[in-house]
Amino acid sequence: MSQATTKSTSLEQRLAALASLREEMITPGEYTEAVITRASYENAWYDRDHILRMMRSLAQHMLTPEMLQTVIDKYALDDHLPAVDVGIVMAGNLPLVGFHDWLCVYLMGYTAQVKLSSKDLYLLPALTRHLVSVDPGLEGQTRYVDTLSDYHAVIATGSENSNRYFRQYFEHVPHLLRSSRTSVAVLSGEESDEEIIALSDDILAYYGLGCRNVSKIYWPEGWDQDRLFELSREQKHIFHNSKYQDNYDYNFAMWGLNRQVFFTNGVLLFKPDESLHARLASVNYETYLDRDTVMNDLIERADHLQCFVAREDYSKGALHHVAYGRTQQPGILDYPDGVDIIQFLLSIDL
């Protein structure tokens, strides 16, 4: 375990730098634009439009002065917190998917020791470089490493297999571990066309690669599913990505050869399946007669769910309810897996 390091930045410094970073993420400068180009070249899933969408969403929902002040007030953050070094093992399924973890560590004035995913090596370093260009005093607040060492606590995101390793490797320090989850939607049957179109974005944003993407839909028996098939064609631009198209073609061919039941609108595959997790380029669905039965089942499987999308919160607070079209717009207090990151960080005992 590491000894406490010396803190050299103030909350006021960090907030001022974040204000500049927010503007940079909304309107990237020349250097950031060059990094975006490189990131999209290195990872075919990272379209430039998707990277910009993620940056602007983070700027809008996590970096506004009002949102940051809400966090500061809620946890009574100040300049009297201890000096703590936190290791962060990041995933790379989406651009900047680990930004939220980093932001919480940075906001508290702790040192972030970051092990980046090989899928996303450039974006966060470009953003933290901008912070240092605004205030050189922030140099060293974020370090990028190949192997974590001398840390007080760890936040790590990985697969179920990775987490078995993480639990053993990080057992000597406080740790917050996350594994793969997914999101579901429960339709009432009274959704507007606008809500259905928004739902299709919940399914296909970032090619459906995130835990906040809807991979399973429930709709009432007798509902006109052709509306969903037709309206989700609004996402036809997704076929511009050859990797998505390859996954679509593979699933189409495999299920056809195996004589499995499925439907397609030429953009997305719809498969009747009880599983919460769907294959890429597809979404699973079930019909229901009794919504309460569906909700009871989902509540029992809450540990596998990130978001529950519906018109109303039929779970009565047992699941993380999100309105149509909002799954990929989490705020700074929308903690992954429902685990309060800042409370975890405050609980670290040196």
> Model confidence at 8, in pLDDT bands (50, 70, 90)?
low
Q: Which two tokens stand for residue 266?
A: 């030429």
Domain assignment of residue 326, yes or no? no
Burial of 52 (0-12, 13-18, 19+ CB in 10 A): middle
Higher pLDDT pick, 38 / 3: 38
Average pLDDT over residues 66-70: 97
**For residue 135, what are the CA distances in angstroms to 31, 68, 82, 83, 130?**
17, 19, 21, 19, 9
> Model confidence at 7, in pLDDT bands (50, 70, 90)?
low
Give yes or no: residues 251 and 315 share one domain: yes
Domain with 115 in it: 11-180+336-346
Chain-wide mean pLDDT for the chain?
95
118: left (phi over 0), alpha (psi -120 to 50) or beta: alpha
- Whole-angstrom Cα distance, residue 163 to residue 305? 17
- Whole-angstrom Cα distance, residue 96 to residue 328? 12
Q: Which two tokens stand for residue 336?
A: 């992954």
Higher pLDDT pick, 29 / 178: 29
pLDDT of residue 112: 97
pLDDT of residue 4: 45
Give yes or no: residues 188 and 175 share one domain: no
Give yes or no: residues 19 and 104 share one domain: yes
**CA-only gyration radius of the chain, Å:** 21
Query: What is the DSSP secondary structure assignment for residue 327, as one 8-state letter?
Result: T
Domain assignment of residue 3, yes or no? no
Which uninterrupted H or E stretch holds 142?
A: strand 142-144
Domain assignment of residue 92, yes or no? yes
pLDDT of residue 164: 85
Give yes or no: residues 175 and 62 share one domain: yes
Domain assignment of residue 153, yes or no? yes
Segment 186-210, tens digit of pLDDT = 999 999 999 999 999 999 999 999 9
- Whole-angstrom Cα distance, residue 329 to residue 322? 10
- Whole-angstrom Cα distance, residue 346 to residue 350? 11
- Whole-angstrom Cα distance, residue 11 to residue 50? 31
- Whole-angstrom Cα distance, residue 124 to residue 345? 21
Largest Cα–Cα separation, the chain: 64
CATH code of the domain covering residue 216 = 3.40.309.10
Torsion of CA 16, 17, 19, 24, to 10 degrees: 160
pLDDT of residue 147: 95
Domain assignment of residue 40, yes or no? yes
Among residues 55, 7, 2, 54, which one has the least CA distance to residue 28? 55
Give yes or no: residues 228 and 148 share one domain: no
Give yes or no: residues 262 and 307 share one domain: yes
Give yes or no: residues 312 and 340 share one domain: no
- Whole-angstrom Cα distance, residue 276 to residue 305? 9
**For residue 137, what are the CA distances in angstroms to 101, 111, 269?**
21, 13, 51
Segment 272-311, tens digit of pLDDT = 999 999 999 999 999 999 999 999 999 999 999 999 999 9
Segment 132-158, tens digit of pLDDT = 999 999 999 999 999 999 999 999 998
Instruction: Count the domains in the chain.
Output: 2
Give yes or no: residues 124 and 240 share one domain: no
Residues in the chain: 350
